[in-house]
A and B are shown apart, each in its own frame.
Chain A
Amino acid sequence: MIEEKFDAIVIGAGMSGNAAAYTMASHGLKVLQLERGEYPGSKNVQGAIMYANMLEKIIPDFRDDAPLERHLVEQRLWVMDDTSHTGIHYRSDDFNEAKPNRYTIIRAQFDKWFSRKVREAGATVLCETTVTELVRDAKDRVVGVRTDRAGGAIFADVVVLAEGVSGLLGPRAGLREIPKPQTVALAVKEMHFLPEEVIEQRFGLKGDEGCVIEAVGTTSRGMAGLGFLYTNKESISLGIGCLVSDFAAMMESPYVLLDALKNHPSIRPLIAGSEVKEYAAHLIPEGGYKAIPQLFGDGWVVVGDAAQLNNAVHREGSNLAMTSGRIAAEAIVKVKSRNGPMTKRNLALYKAMLDKSFVVKDLRKYKDMPALLHTNSSNFFTTYPRLMSQAAQNFMRVDGTPKIEKEKATTAAFIKARSRWGLVSDAVRLAFAWR
């Protein structure tokens, strides 16, 4: 297909692959990027909140033409039981700044835009091309790829594996393991379309302002999971995800959970009258720090979700993907500029640089969180949300019961459900994992 040799081949045109390809191409490297989808983004799913700072580090003036939906001025965290929600809302006019910090986006559109920037920077981008195999030389170094298009292998000094959480190539080449059911969540999502004015009215927004809701509680039926509702310009992204291991153990169906969330009395009025135009499903890496695989080797690096660089606690992924892609590219550019070969030894620079960034620092901070949520999910996602709702309702109903008796009843309910020891131990474990 293509005879010439490249400085770098990037597999995947998602957040991490585009960041890597853009950065290398704009430093003058000869880059080939391969994407299996019909267009970049056609296979990709996100909530989706996009963090400006990390994109700004790659394309400083992205606000001029990137397809952005709304910038966030309000975030709600809801703890749900079957009929109620207890919430923390944070809204600030400070978020109405000249260069807003967080935006909602629609991935298929965003990825197309990002890919156009990659092309403009000089990279060759081939879509509808699935990479089927990594090519190695006699010394086991990665030297190129084979695709499902006619023609032989394509060669490069270095291959950037930006193949996402479901990447097949790394595991098949023995570079990393397939994620385990307890280290990935399955999320399903629907796009609900509504007129702009209706969204603005329902959420108290004006212009491009946006509001997002994260929901935990009985909506995940005792599984470790999270629901989300994000406002776009004229649509609402609504979804829910739980650990694959929990889904399998409980034999739950994700669409049943999603439909229940849609019918929850706190959510239903927000999407009433909407037209659903897409139903999507995707995995999210949730293993955190302990699940990060070997990140580099002779002739290859791995970035983004494929390397489990995803912060499930803060549901940040795209920014870690963009940053790891950019840093890998910068490391490659550095090695190249001193005419160094793309050996494991030289590419260790990528990991050294990544370790110093927020990507690895944040993941290290929460290294015990995945295990805690995995082993304790029914308490955190069912028992406590129910208790919180009872406590709030008990507090708010005015029925002639003396307040002291109400307080006693609330405390008794917590102890009955979890025992004093259980409460203390959950709190301590949560505090340590959060620390």
Chain B
Amino acid sequence: MTIAVTKSRVEDKLYQNRYLVDPGRPHITVRPHEKPSANLLALTHVCPAKCYELNDKGQVEITPDGCMECGTCRILCETSGEIEWNYPRGGFGVLFKFG
């Protein structure tokens, strides 16, 4: 219950932001895995845009649409090879009006 409430709140927050989504070109991908590592699992809480979620098989999935390109998931999971992290193409992604 609390999770559902929190989630809708993050979506409300992201709704304020301006994005230019690059369809079909996700800039972050999660490598297929059986069981997520502690860091990968932590992303389901730590990502400020709640892009990471557990699927019903207990694996971590990403939907990077609301991503604010903060780089937190990269810091936690790029060196281990669990995710691949790039910037969106020039001009795409989040566009802060105030920053």
A interface with B by C-beta (< 8 Å): 36-38, 41-46, 48, 106-109, 111, 127-130, 147-149, 165-166, 168, 178-181, 184, 186, 188, 190-191, 235, 244, 247-249, 251-256, 259, 276-283
Whether B70 pairs with A130 at a CB distance below 8 angstroms is no
User: Which residue of chain B lies nearest to A254 when distances are taken between CB atoms in the complex?
Assistant: B48
Of B10, B70, B78, the most chain A CB neighbours within 10 A belong to B70
Interface string of B41-59 (1 = CB under 8 A from A): 1100110111000000000
B69 cross-chain contacts in A, Cβ below 8 A: 43, 166
User: Which residue of chain B lies nearest to A107 when distances are taken between CB atoms in the complex?
Assistant: B99
Q: Knowing A42-B95, A149-B90 are in contact, say whether A276-B16 is a contact too (CB < 8 A).
A: yes
Whether A181 pairs with B75 at a CB distance below 8 angstroms is yes
Whether B78 pairs with A178 at a CB distance below 8 angstroms is yes
Whether A255 pairs with B46 at a CB distance below 8 angstroms is no
Whether B75 pairs with A179 at a CB distance below 8 angstroms is yes
Whether B42 pairs with A251 at a CB distance below 8 angstroms is yes
B76 cross-chain contacts in A, Cβ below 8 A: 181, 244, 248
What's the least CB distance linking B93 to chain A, in Å? Answer: 8
B90 cross-chain contacts in A, Cβ below 8 A: 36, 127-130, 147-149
Judge whether B31 is part of the interface by a CB distance below 8 angstroms.
Answer: no
B94 cross-chain contacts in A, Cβ below 8 A: 42-43
What's the least CB distance linking B18 to chain A, in Å? Answer: 8
Query: How far is it, in angstroms, between the C-alpha of A44 and the C-alpha of B78 when the chains are bound?
Result: 22
Whether A253 pairs with B46 at a CB distance below 8 angstroms is yes
Query: How far is it, in angstroms, between the C-alpha of A35 and the C-alpha of B93 when the chains are bound?
Result: 13
Whether B70 pairs with A283 at a CB distance below 8 angstroms is yes
CB pairs A–B below 8 angstroms (29 shown): A36-B90, A36-B91, A42-B99, A48-B99, A106-B98, A107-B99, A109-B98, A129-B90, A130-B90, A166-B71, A178-B75, A178-B79, A184-B75, A186-B48, A190-B13, A247-B42, A251-B46, A253-B45, A253-B48, A255-B6, A255-B10, A255-B48, A276-B16, A278-B16, A278-B97, A278-B99, A279-B14, A279-B17, A281-B49
Whether B98 pairs with A108 at a CB distance below 8 angstroms is yes
Our pick among A42, A178, A281 for the contact of B70 (Cβ within 8 Å) is A281
A244 cross-chain contacts in B, Cβ below 8 A: 46, 72, 75-76
Whether A108 pairs with B46 at a CB distance below 8 angstroms is no
B9 cross-chain contacts in A, Cβ below 8 A: 255, 259
Query: How far is it, in angstroms, between the C-alpha of A7 and the C-alpha of B77 when the chains are bound?
Result: 37
Our pick among A107, A147, A149, A188 for the contact of B48 (Cβ within 8 Å) is A188
What's the least CB distance linking A183 to chain B, in Å? Answer: 9
Whether B99 pairs with A252 at a CB distance below 8 angstroms is no
Given contacts A279-B14, A280-B17, A283-B75, 9 further A-B contacts (CB under 8 A): A43-B93, A107-B96, A107-B99, A181-B76, A248-B76, A249-B42, A278-B98, A280-B96, A281-B68
Q: Knowing A165-B71, A247-B42, A281-B68 are in contact, say whether A255-B91 is a contact too (CB < 8 A).
A: no
User: Which residue of chain B lies nearest to A129 when distances are taken between CB atoms in the complex?
Assistant: B90
B48 cross-chain contacts in A, Cβ below 8 A: 186, 188, 253-255, 281
Query: How far is it, in angstroms, between the C-alpha of A283 and the C-alpha of B50 when the chains are bound?
Result: 16
Our pick among A168, A179, A254 for the contact of B46 (Cβ within 8 Å) is A254
Query: How far is it, in angstroms, between the C-alpha of A148 and the C-alpha of B87 when the chains are bound?
Result: 11
What's the least CB distance linking B85 to chain A, in Å? Answer: 8
Whether B75 pairs with A180 at a CB distance below 8 angstroms is yes
Whether A45 pairs with B96 at a CB distance below 8 angstroms is yes
